[in-house]
Amino acid sequence: MTEPRFDVLAIGNAIVDVMAPCDDSLLERFAMAKGGMTLIDDAEATTLYEAMGPAREISGGSAANTIAGLAALGAKCAFVGQVAEDQLGEVFAHDIRAAGVHFATAARPGEPPTARCLIFVTPDGQRTMNTYLGATQFLPPSALDLEAVAAAKILYLEGYLWDPEEPRAAMRRAIAAAREAGRQVALTLSDPFVITRHGDDFRALIAEGLLDILFCNESELAAMTGKDDFEEGLAQLGSQVPVLVVTRSEKGAVAVRGSERAEVPAEPVGEVVDTTGAGDLFAAGFLFGHVRGKSLEMSLTIGAVAAAEIISHFGARPEADLKALVEKRLR
């Protein structure tokens, strides 16, 4: 096996988040499911954007957030995702590269435009996401640099991107390249709606032994297993994948590796400002610990520190020095 060039290479949605605070009444006005994620079309994106108050544009995308967090912790990372040849595409490419991440996916000419996620943040810190996928759903298998995939210790896949046909084919191709090179493959399930649509695909990947690390939250665990009882679901899914990581919001997180189990509480936060990206940054911290050979408990702790930083401000990209925060916490 050749020496890896990257710690983690991720494939995911290339999205620019447009975030604004709002009252619950605005969610009710547009019948938005609080705390959820809804796919919208171009017309709906225009309507919701017009209803937003003053907003901030911040590069996002679940796996891209994870990769940015990993890079902030000191990992060598690469990202594959599709943007369009437009202003938001340039914003995304600039931001991911400025974070120290290798990004070489060519921009797509013409329509549709670069994806954007309209995020409404209520006073309790909950974020309600409305995503227009645009160009990101047209990532073709030909966009992959298979040598780069094979040169990463871990291939990290975003469940959200499994929905469109072209990216799904690209990710299957990447899985094959990673396995052939003897690398690990990680998947985040992203959302229960993704499992409703593609749960059988994910269960097949698990049954075929193609996944080494699986990330999910409590709702996604229940959707994957059909078990409402957390411990029953954890036991079932934990016996099927080499490493299972389950986040539980304010209750912390649990990881299972064979007969080994570790659990950590959530890190204390002065004020929860915005929960956008909490799971993404938790995955970043855990993966960082994992590639550095840390214990399950320590990897979970690094994840909890990263998640706590992200929910203390608007946006899903780190603003504080994550490396310093982790070093202080682990002293």
- For 263-311, the DSSP string reads EEPPPP-S-----TTHHHHHHHHHHHHHHTT--HHHHHHHHHHHHHHHT
Q: What is the reported pLDDT for 1?
A: 56
Beta pairing class for 37-39 and 127-132: parallel
Whole-prediction pTM: 0.91
- Domain ranges in the chain are 6-14+61-112+136-330
How far, in Å, CA of 303 to CA of 209, rounded? Answer: 25
Q: How many CA atoms lie within 13 A of 206 on its CB side?
A: 23
**Could you tell me which of 73, 10, 67, 2 has the C-alpha nearest to residue 292?**
73
83 closest CA partner among 106, 51, 104: 106
> Binning pLDDT at 50, 70 and 90, where does residue 58 land?
confident
Which CATH code fits 6-14+61-112+136-330? 3.40.1190.20
CB within 8 Å of 211: residues ≥ 6 apart: 185, 186, 187, 205, 241, 242
End-to-end CA distance of the chain: 35
Which pLDDT value is given to residue 274?
A: 75
Percent of the chain past pLDDT 90, that is, above it, reads 82
Rg of the chain over Cα atoms, rounded to whole angstroms, equals 18
Peptide bond into 112 cis (omega under 30): yes
pLDDT averaged over the chain? 94
Cα–Cα dist 31/64, whole Å:
29
CA–CA distance, 94 with 98 (Å, rounded to integer): 6
The confidence band for 325, taking pLDDT boundaries of 50, 70 and 90, is very high
> Which residues in 11-25 are b (16+ Cβ under 10 Å) and which e?
bbbbbbbbbbbbeee
Residue pair 188/156 in contact (Cβ under 8 Å)? The answer is yes
User: What is the CB neighbour count within 10 angstroms for residue 240?
Assistant: 15
pLDDT in tens, 186-231: 999 999 999 999 999 999 999 999 999 999 999 999 999 999 999 9
